[in-house]
Amino acid sequence: MVSDHRKQPRRRGDALNAAIFQAVLAELAEVGYARLTMEGVAERARTGKASLYRRWPTRIELVMAAVYHALPDPAATPDTGSLRDDLLEVLRRTAAALDGPPGRRCAGCSARR
């Protein structure tokens, strides 16, 4: 049985965004982009649809924000002393982050609604 999210402690800011992004990636892995809905994400994140629409007016914007959030921070790449090696490391980390169910499911994402 789904509990009413309004009866739970209120999350804001980074805590709420993290829960939403986690819910998006889980929905992508489970149902894929074509069947992902704002309602499903809101239910999984235990928040209201208004919280989603206030931040991301469209489904593609929400999905892309979640994917970007899951990617490694390029600024955190160690300095190898070689620009080429630094860029290769960023690309390796990005590929590793996208190599999984959410990344494969998101391969069908497009800007079309």
Tokens describing residue 30: 């489970």
pLDDT at 1: 45
CA triple 80-75-27, angle to 5 deg: 120
State which CATH number among 3.30.70.1060, 3.40.50.1860, 1.10.357.10, 1.10.150.20 fits the domain covering 5-106.
Answer: 1.10.357.10
Residues 6+ apart with CB under 8 A from 21: 65, 66, 69, 70
pTM: 0.69
pLDDT value at residue 27: 93
The domain segmentation of the chain, as residue ranges, is 5-106
- Report the first-to-last Cα separation within the chain, whole angstroms: 31
**Residue-wise pLDDT tens for the chain (113 aa)?**
455 555 565 666 788 999 999 999 999 989 989 999 999 999 999 999 999 999 999 999 999 999 888 887 777 877 889 999 988 988 888 888 777 766 666 665 654 44
Query: CA–CA separation, 92 vs 42, rounded Å?
Result: 32
Residue type, 46: R
Q: What was the pLDDT predicted at 18?
A: 95
